[in-house]
């Protein structure tokens, strides 16, 4: 049996896609290994969202090249967004890659492998589909606590900094009945939590079914206790979805609400379709309907032409919303994006560095303040395993915060009630009740 080694970079959608690839290859008789030296096929499932991710993959390919020198029959492939974006560069003889396959090409992999193995010729497939959702491939998963589940693919928003619409194509949603069938299989395997995934997940629409309908249908599956979703866009939060989140106990009270920037002119350049005021109004509105909601966000500093004064608007929104957590990034130009074609990356590196430092410092302060509000509260915690300290266990509360408690031998996947007595920026610590 030929063995495949797959390494995954980037977002949860890529993790999910790796499961799809494994399922497709398994049906063709391939096995898997965690050790590249034991593999006859090596795939890197890549990400294009940040420059750093590109560098990591290039370094990894260079590091793996010695295996190719040892074994001429070894097949190396690059999958995912970077494949879609950088085909020519990757197929260069010096890089040593045999297969380049974009995110809609995974059903072709057995054919591509047969061709490379049979002829020694390189192969690539990068056509983006308007229809492929892999709804007929239920990923093979071992039991666990949380299962990622892609409900839609692609994105039509064309935020000017983002490469996703070019690497993953047009937005398309899966049939909800097919999704519910997958949720049932996950419940049968013992998963307690599902996270619905999509590049723009809350714009899900399949015939008459919208995203709120999909969540409601998934929540009816016995055995599934928690439902999360990521990543939404602030433009798609109708009242119906917010009231469902408020009223349905299985839907976690947590929203990732990507701000990106706080200044309306910069937001317009980013094509985010909301202003500073509209974002603040939405965050306030969410908090009045879904009480105790945990809000996280994404922030980019140093977008082209962003002035210091405009950056202050980002800090201002942060101060008004007080996010529980944030992913913060310095702007880096991505090939193919509208921003790379239209705007000059003109904010000096030292200025970007200063802005990100100030953003991180402010977020750390807010994260701690938000966590301090939980002192004395009791949370229902879904147990995930041991914490870094061996005499402790950890899990997550409804708001997706890490909760650490003494090792009481609680089973992974069970629920325990924990009363919080200590907090840090990233963690809640307490005792079981």
DSSP 8-state class, residue 395: E
Question: How many residues interact with ligand SF4 (rule CB under 6 A)?
Answer: 10
Which three-class secondary structure state does DSSP give residue 387?
coil
CB of 232 to ligand SF4, least distance (A): 9
CB of 196 to ligand SF4, least distance (A): 15
CA dihedral 52→57→63→65, nearest 10 degrees, is -150
Complex with ligand SF4: residue 260 or 367, whichever CB lies closer: 260
CB of 199 to ligand SF4, least distance (A): 4
- The rounded distance, in Å, linking the Cα atoms of 228 and 193 is 8
CB of 49 to ligand SF4, least distance (A): 8
- Which residues ranging from 56 to 115 are in contact with ligand SF4 (CB under 6 A)? none
Take residue 178 and report the two structure tokens written for it: 């097919």
- The rounded distance, in Å, linking the Cα atoms of 366 and 239 is 27
- Contacting residue, 8, 84, 167, 199, with ligand SF4 by CB under 6 A: 199
Place of tokens 């006859």: 40
CB of 134 to ligand SF4, least distance (A): 18
Take residue 378 and report the two structure tokens written for it: 């009791």
- Which residues ranging from 111 to 170 are in contact with ligand SF4 (CB under 6 A)? 155, 157-159, 162, 164-165
Complex with ligand SF4: residue 77 or 165, whichever CB lies closer: 165
> H-type helices in 170-226, by residue range?
176-188, 211-219
Contact call for residue 200 and ligand SF4 (CB under 6 A)? yes
CB of 229 to ligand SF4, least distance (A): 14
Query: Where are the extended beta strands (E) located within 249-401?
Result: 254-256, 294-301, 325-330, 378-386, 392-396
- The rounded distance, in Å, linking the Cα atoms of 244 and 261 is 28
Pairing of the two strands 146-150 and 193-197: parallel
- The rounded distance, in Å, linking the Cα atoms of 108 and 125 is 8
CB of 260 to ligand SF4, least distance (A): 8
- The rounded distance, in Å, linking the Cα atoms of 253 and 387 is 24
Complex with ligand SF4: residue 100 or 155, whichever CB lies closer: 155
Pairing of the two strands 392-396 and 378-386: antiparallel
DSSP 8-state class, residue 73: T
Complex with ligand SF4: residue 258 or 399, whichever CB lies closer: 258
Complex with ligand SF4: residue 43 or 166, whichever CB lies closer: 166
Complex with ligand SF4: residue 4 or 155, whichever CB lies closer: 155
- The rounded distance, in Å, linking the Cα atoms of 23 and 137 is 7
Complex with ligand SF4: residue 233 or 396, whichever CB lies closer: 233
CB of 257 to ligand SF4, least distance (A): 12
- Which residues ranging from 221 to 240 are in contact with ligand SF4 (CB under 6 A)? 233
Complex with ligand SF4: residue 258 or 413, whichever CB lies closer: 258
- The rounded distance, in Å, linking the Cα atoms of 272 and 237 is 14
Nearest Cα to 402, choosing from 366, 432, 418, 426?
426
> Do 269 and 303 contact (CB within 8 A), yes or no?
yes
Nearest Cα to 336, choosing from 168, 182, 207?
168
CB of 174 to ligand SF4, least distance (A): 17
Which three-class secondary structure state does DSSP give residue 61?
helix
Nearest Cα to 70, choosing from 100, 40, 45?
40
Complex with ligand SF4: residue 77 or 304, whichever CB lies closer: 304
Complex with ligand SF4: residue 117 or 132, whichever CB lies closer: 132
CB of 233 to ligand SF4, least distance (A): 5
Enumerate binding residues for ligand SF4 (CB under 6 A): 155, 157-159, 162, 164-165, 199-200, 233
């Amino acid at each position: 049996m030929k063995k495949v080694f797959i390494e995954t970079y980037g977002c949860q959608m890529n993790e999910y896609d790796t499961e799809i690839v494994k399922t497709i290859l398994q049906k063709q008789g391939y096995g898997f290994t965690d050790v590249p030296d034991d593999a006859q096929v090596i795939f890197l499932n890549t990400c294009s969202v940040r420059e750093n991710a590109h560098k990591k993959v290039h370094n990894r390919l260079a590091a793996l090249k010695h295996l190719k020198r040892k074994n001429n029959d070894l097949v190396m492939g690059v999958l995912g967004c970077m494949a879609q974006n950088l085909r020519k560069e990757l197929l260069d003889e010096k890089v040593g890659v045999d297969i380049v396959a974009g995110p809609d090409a995974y059903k072709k992999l057995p054919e591509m492998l047969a061709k490379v193995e049979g002829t020694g010729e390189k192969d690539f497939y990068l056509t983006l589909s308007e229809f492929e959702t892999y709804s007929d491939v239920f990923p093979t998963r071992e039991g666990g606590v949380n299962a990622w589940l892609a409900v839609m693919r692609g994105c039509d928003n064309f935020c000017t900094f983002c490469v996703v619409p070019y690497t993953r194509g047009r937005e398309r949603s899966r049939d909800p009945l097919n999704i519910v069938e997958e949720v049932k299989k996950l419940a049968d395997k013992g998963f307690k939590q599902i996270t619905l995934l999509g590049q723009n997940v809350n714009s899900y629409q399949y015939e008459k079914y919208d995203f709120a309908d999909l969540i409601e249908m998934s929540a009816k599956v016995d055995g599934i206790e928690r439902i999360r979703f990521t990543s939404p866009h602030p433009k798609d939060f109708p009242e119906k979805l917010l009231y469902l989140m408020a009223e349905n106990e299985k839907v976690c009270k947590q929203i990732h609400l990507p701000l990106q920037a706080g200044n309306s002119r910069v937001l317009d350049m980013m094509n985010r379709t909301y202003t500073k005021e509209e974002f603040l109004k939405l965050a306030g509105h969410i908090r009045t309907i879904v009480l105790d909601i945990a809000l996280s966000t994404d922030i980019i500093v140093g977008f082209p032409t962003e002035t210091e004064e405009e950056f202050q608007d980002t800090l201002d929104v942060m101060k008004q919303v007080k996010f529980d957590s944030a992913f913060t990034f310095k702007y880096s130009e991505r090939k193919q994006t509208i921003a790379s074609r239209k705007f000059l990356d003109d904010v000096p590196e030292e200025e970007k560095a200063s802005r990100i430092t100030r953003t991180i410092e402010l977020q750390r302060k807010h994260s701690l303040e938000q966590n301090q509000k939980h002192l004395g509260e009791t949370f229902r915690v879904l147990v995930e395993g041991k914490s870094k300290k061996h005499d402790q266990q950890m899990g997550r509360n409804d708001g997706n915060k890490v909760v650490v408690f003494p090792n009481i031998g609680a089973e992974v996947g069970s629920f325990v009630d924990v009363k919080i007595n200590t907090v840090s920026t990233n963690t809640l610590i307490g005792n079981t009740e």
